[in-house]
Structure 1
Amino acid sequence: MKKKLVNEIFWLRALACLAVVTIHSIQKGIDYYFTGENTPMVYFLHLFYAAALFGTPSFVFISEFLLAKAYPSGVPKGFLKKRVKFLLTPFIFMGIIYTFFELGASITLKSFIIESLKNILIGDYVAWFILLILQFYLLHMFVPKYLEKASPKVILPVSLIVNVLYLSFFKFVQPIQAIPFHDYIWERGYWLLAIGWIFYFTLGYYIGKDFEAFKLWLKRNGKIILLFAVVAYCMVVGLKLVGILPDSSSKRPDIPIYTTAIICLIFYLTGKIKLAPSFIVLISNYSFNIYLLHMMFLYTIKPLPHMNMITYTLYLLILSITGSIILATVINKLPFGKYLVGNILKIGRKQNNRTPNHPKAV
């Protein structure tokens, strides 16, 4: 069944993709130039870093939003098989490829096998997010029939509380020694469980299922949405400055609130624009490929002479996105290329009223 494509998703997917690459570029820029002194340049980049923390959570929202809009009550035959094929195959291939970048010249057969297995089995590289998305695909096969009967006024607050409590536990409780691999679990292992992102799933479901009602709500509450976004961003920065949540991560317990504010803001502002610009559509269509490939460029691109922290960060951002798009285009010309670096979406600016929604991870 044909369904009207949501123009705002072009924007959200593209901006979330740019946010993820921005975060990684800033990390590389600061790591390369940081001298131990928090200069105005460092603070400036950290402000952008904080603003971009909505990126990864937004992809969870997008995946469930599209699923709920296309399949609010049930999924078609072959639903999971198709998604596993187009997500898990590139995940495995890129997990092996990234092993070479992570180990560098010190690579041995033993270290290659160990690192590759870590990347593939527990998502120990940049594409760990795919394992999370697959969990939500499974949830969407069974949970919507219960969510459909329940009230969002109950489910959304409950899922938010559960989400925040889960993230708070790993932020404020020291690793429990009795738990095997506790250090790794507290460092990054807890990212992989769906419970740490469950609010974005329920939010995506209810907004996707009743999108027209959500758009009406946005129109009536524009000023509140703008204020909500400003307050939420100040909260993220403020909690970092006062040392309550000193790290900058999308896994902080305050990020579900911030991400919700930014999602609402993007939907509100872009809902007033009839067609997304070509650049936004381009980034949106290549978002999955950029997500998979951009770190390869960040691993290898060195600064040019006379660059500083900010110019190097911009240099990384531009080249990693451009390089990812070019590489994905070339590899996708192979018959099996989409199974290596991900399929490229082919959705145009003028297809808003005739293109079916394609639920994708990014």
Structure 2
Amino acid sequence: MIKEWNLLRVVACLSIVFLHSTTQTARVVGYPQIEHYQLFRVFLTYATPTFIVLSVIILANRYPDGLPKGFWSGRFKWILAPFLFFGVIDALVAKHFNPNVMLELKIFDNIVTGKFVGWFIIVIFQFYLLHYIITKFKISLTWLFPISIGVMMWYSTVINNPSAFMEGYSHMLKLPFLAWFGYFTSAFIIGKHYKVIAEKLYKFRWLTLVYLAVSLFMVYLSYESGITIVNSRRLDLFPLVLSVSAVVLAWGQVIPKSKIINLISNYSFGIYLLHWQILRFTAPYVANYFEHTSTRVFALFFVTLLLSLAIIKLISLVPMGEFIIGKVKKKKAPKVVEVRSLRTSA
């Protein structure tokens, strides 16, 4: 795995855990009266689209001409199965905290309508199919890219103004690939031509910081204009997602390999699915133990991350554990060389 890909996955993963730490802390003690607290949370919503972008970059880089044999079976085992498992777990946890929850309906909503933290996996599978279609019919990205941007912009106006008949199910509007179409084509181009693009990003890595500053300022202006909603469906996140990706992919080539980065990257899928449930149980204890918002959020973040790593490690040791938390790369046991002494007879 290319090291800057691991770094980008880690940055996105930790940002998601941190964002949800602010969410759960606020649910326990209320949102603090801190200037730009919500704006900071808006910035962090770049993380989930970045996960999607990285998935497509890797996909397009590895399989630029078509999906290999066995591709779908692997994705069903290591991605869809954990999605289904945690869809049920999320419903059980919801039932635990609220006995009035209808368990069967909640499971249905989670798995079919994506009404839990794992919803993005439904989008990923649509991208797998879209990748198959593009490579199968050799569709040119030269004209698909601008069309995808236009379609995404149009669709974003639709999902941000849902009609009355979608009441209770407006969350489903983010599931069609149309909401993320521009992310897909951008990531496909990056992945397919990654070697050339990576060289350019490295050469002009200082400019990526300028791009990041500009994209952050754009989100700030949008926020100040009254668009304060905290979710990853904001259209102004598109430049921010690409700029953060550019910065990490550029500067990640400079940063040396790190065991902790590789570890978190390896566990990132499991962390994404598991952390929300841990937050729901630990947030009341952590939030009430500390007095200040910053210490509450940081403490909850670190507790959740450490517990996630520990639980994923334990599950990975269990037979069939990969169907629960996804495929976790295990260290190969060092080869034991048996040294035998040779005896010579006198």
TM over 0.5: yes
Q: CA deviation at 1:105?
A: 4.8
Equivalent residue letter for 1:112 = L
Note if 1:339 corresponds to 2:329: no
**Is contact 1:20–1:55 with CA below 8 Å preserved after alignment?**
yes
Q: CA deviation at 1:11?
A: 0.6
Report what 1:311 is aligned to.
295
Measured in 1, the distance between the counterparts of 2:108 and 2:323 equals: 19
Aligned length: 329
Correspondent of 1:158 among 119, 139, 147: 147
Note if 1:253 corresponds to 2:250: no
Q: Deviations over 1:204-234 (max 9, x none)?
A: 2111111111023224433432211101011
Report what 2:85 is aligned to.
93
Measured in 1, the distance between the counterparts of 2:64 and 2:178 equals: 21
Which deviates the most, 297-306 or 130-139?
Answer: 297-306
Query: What TM-score do the two structures reach when normalised by structure 1?
Result: 0.85
Residue aligned with 1:13, SS: helix
Note if 1:286 corresponds to 2:267: yes
Report what 2:125 is aligned to.
134
Measured in 1, the distance between the counterparts of 2:29 and 2:294 equals: 10
Correspondent of 1:33 among 23, 29, 35: 29
Q: Deviations over 1:41-97 (max 9, x none)?
A: xx3x43432332221011111111111111100111121121012111111111111
Report what 2:214 is aligned to.
231
The 5 A counterparts of 1:1-362 are 5-34=1-30, 38-40=33-35, 43=36, 45-107=37-99, 111-146=102-137, 150-152=140-142, 154-171=143-160, 173=161, 175-177=162-164, 179=165, 182-186=166-170, 188-243=171-226, 245-273=227-255, 275-301=256-282, 302-303=285-286, 304-346=288-330
Q: Deviations over 1:229-284 (max 9, x none)?
A: 101011112211220x22122110111111011111111111222x3322211111
Residue aligned with 1:286, SS: helix
Q: CA deviation at 1:149?
A: 5.4
**Is contact 2:159–2:174 with CA below 8 Å preserved after alignment?**
no
Q: CA deviation at 1:19?
A: 1.0
Q: RMSD of the TM alignment (CA)?
A: 2.1
Inter-CA distance 220–130: structure 2 relative to 1 (3 Å threshold) = same
Query: What TM-score do the two structures reach when normalised by structure 2?
Result: 0.88
Inter-CA distance 9–197: structure 2 relative to 1 (3 Å threshold) = same
- 5+ long unaligned stretches in structure 1: 349-362
**Is contact 2:279–2:300 with CA below 8 Å preserved after alignment?**
yes
Residue aligned with 2:46, SS: helix
Equivalent residue letter for 1:203 = S
Residue aligned with 1:117, SS: helix
Q: Which gives a bigger RCO, structure 1 or 2 (Cα 8 Å, sep 6+)?
A: 1
**Is contact 1:33–1:308 with CA below 8 Å preserved after alignment?**
no
Q: CA deviation at 1:318?
A: 0.8
**Is contact 1:12–1:266 with CA below 8 Å preserved after alignment?**
yes
Residue aligned with 2:329, SS: coil
Measured in 2, the distance between the counterparts of 1:137 and 1:282 equals: 26
**Is contact 1:50–1:237 with CA below 8 Å preserved after alignment?**
no
Equivalent residue letter for 1:10 = N
Query: Percent identity between the aligned chains?
Result: 28
Equivalent residue letter for 2:309 = I
Equivalent residue letter for 1:317 = F
Q: CA deviation at 1:347?
A: 7.8
Q: Which has the larger radius of gyration?
A: 2
Measured in 1, the distance between the counterparts of 2:139 and 2:300 equals: 47
